[in-house]
Amino acid sequence: MESFSRGDVIKVPFARADRATRQWRPALVISDARLHDVHGLAWVLMITSAENRGWPDDVAVRDLASAGLPVPSVIRTAKIATIDSAAAGKIGVVSAAVLGQVMKRVGRILGGAG
């Protein structure tokens, strides 16, 4: 099973109610490796096309090539999920600056010192 680090961009299977197949969607890992090592899980944030209506606290992905993303995208810090790490695959990584913005906004949402 592949291990993920905070800041990795991964592809996650997304089940569609209207189809028997799954679509792959990008997500940003915000948990550390310990959650994966102990439980086989990862906390992730949704990544969506920048063409979609923006939400407060979205963070733009600046380097699409490094992130493995084909179109301008944003990290939606308000949409967090817990996934089974075995169901995902790494496609890229965000910069330290983008990850810092994301973690600050997530901390603020959680009421922490972000």
CATH number of the domain that residue 104 is part of:
2.30.30.110
pLDDT greater than 80 at residue 68? yes
Task: For residue 90, tell me if it sits in a domain.
Answer: yes
Q: Which two tokens stand for residue 37?
A: 């090592």
Mean pLDDT score, 54-81:
95
The residue segments making up the domain with residue 83 are 8-110
Residue 35 placed within a domain: yes
Residue 1 lies in a domain: no
Which H or E element spans position 9? strand 8-15
- The number of helices, as runs of H, and strands, as runs of E, in the chain is 3, 6
Whether 114 has a pLDDT exceeding 90, the answer reads no
Residue 30 CA, distance from chain mean position: 7
Domain count, the chain: 1
- Looking at the predicted structure, is the pLDDT value of residue 20 above 70? no
Least confident of 2-6, 17-21, 50-54, 75-79: 17-21
